[in-house]
Amino acid sequence: MASRSGRWTTDRFAELKGRGYAFETHIVYVEIDPATAVPAIKRYVCGHDCGVMINPDIVHGMTYGGIAHGIGAALYEKFTYDENGQLTSGTFMDYLLPSALEIPPIEIVDHCTPSPFTTFGQKGSGEAGYLGAPAAVANAVNDALAPLGLEINELPISPLALWETLNTRFP
């Protein structure tokens, strides 16, 4: 209903009594092709607890999108600059983004611990997926390199960076 000021009002609202943090964990299995140094994500599982999901489809969509964005940060996306500080990766010809072909099937495991600080028991889930994905993918790549005594500590982990790392051990 409209109030006298012309603004819409409602008698129902969600009350926030404290902070409602979501929790998640990512488990990633990566294989690296020794001939091409291309990493392939073979399995991706994300378990998360965002309390009561008011709209599970929206939460899952944000989670899938966040993970895809995080995979891009881990393996593809890199800003580059010239010696004058001019951005040299300002177009999609220079700045690589993952497509649907590079994103593996993602398994989401829902867990619900209602928040005592919100009216409906919900927690934050707006950044679902993104925060854990780059570290999980990087750690999975390093786990694949571990039997060779190698690791890479820079994002994005491009095939060139992997090839150079592999060739320090096997020239």
Spans of the chain, pLDDT less than 50 = 1-3
pTM, 2 dp: 0.83
39-73 pLDDT tens trace: 999 999 999 998 999 899 999 999 999 999 999 99
Q: Which among 47, 94, 37, 105 is positioned nearest to 71, based on CA atoms?
A: 105
List domains and CATH numbers for the chain: 23-169 (3.30.365.10)
Per-residue tokens: 168: 């320090």
